[in-house]
Amino acid sequence: MRILITAGPTREYLDDVRYLSNASSGRMGFALAEAVMAAGHEVVLACGPVSLTPPAGCELHPVETTDELLAVCSEQFPKCQGVIATAAVCDYRPKSRFPGKLAKKGVSLELELVETADVLADLGRQKGNRWIIGFALESDEYAHVNALRKLKEKNCDAIVLNRPTAIGSESNRIEVIDAAGQTVATFSGTKLHVAQELWNWITQAVVQH
């Protein structure tokens, strides 16, 4: 199989120097790329800015902004059998990008934000006979409900729920929610171990069905 994996953060620029982003390290996506390739499959890795070395042999597509990630995914997804979307996409961007470097003027600055493109929803619309595994990072008491809503709205086959403690960490604990809305597996440990367990679950519960 040929699998598309998204990883890392995206950036949305305020001016030519400053940007909105998040602290995603990309480790979960890179670990999944390793696990999928170790199982003998091809990986297309669409990755935001990270300090990691990509797994040898993967097809790497570096991106910065959400629109760039969307463009790569829209081009590559039709050539793949499935996608695992781990990227921590920036949900908002400044409505206007200032040219050059915005200088201090001794007054407050109001920043208007607008939503970025919904990459996972776009993939869900062009899904066809392919499969989609999404990731949902949630922090409050309604985490499961929010993840389930994302699963339905984005047309995913399953959603992986994890918490903010995963950001920048070497380890992770995830909850896998299937298309029926049921928690069907939980995995914890190093991100490589979690990736291997998750890929095993995907091959048994999603790919073979």
- Please state the CATH superfamily assignment of the domain spanning residues 2-93+112-207 in this structure: CoaB-like (3.40.50.10300)
- Tens of pLDDT, residue by residue over 3-17, are 999 999 999 999 999
Q: Which of 43-52, 97-106, 127-136, 179-188 has the lowest mean pLDDT?
A: 97-106
Question: What average pLDDT does the segment 95-102 reach?
Answer: 91
155 is catalytic: no
Question: What average pLDDT does the segment 22-45 reach?
Answer: 95
- Provide the residue count of the chain: 209
User: CA torsion, points 71, 77, 82, 88, in degrees to nearest 10?
Assistant: 0
- Tens of pLDDT, residue by residue over 34-52, are 999 999 999 999 999 999 9
Measured over the CA atoms of residue 74, residue 75, residue 80 and residue 84, the dihedral's sign is negative
The answer to whether 114 and 95 have CB atoms below 8 angstroms apart is: yes
Which pTM does this prediction carry? 0.93
pLDDT band at 209 (very low <50, low <70, confident <90, very high): low
- Cβ neighbour number for residue 126 with a 10 Å cutoff: 12
Per residue, the 3-state secondary structure of the chain, as one string, reads CEEEEEECECCEECCCCCEECCCCCCHHHHHHHHHHHHCCCEEEEEECCCCCCCCCCCEEEECCCHHHHHHHHHHHHHHCCEEEECCECCCEEECCCCCCCCCCCCCCCCCCEEECCCHHHHHHHCCCCCEEEEEEECCCCCHHHHHHHHHHHCCCCEEEEECHHHCCCCEEEEEEEECCCCEEEEEEEEHHHHHHHHHHHHHHHHHCC
Domain ranges of the chain: 2-93+112-207
CA 128/CA 126 separation, integer angstroms: 6
pLDDT number for residue 129: 93
Indicate which residue of 22, 146, 155, 200 is catalytic: 22
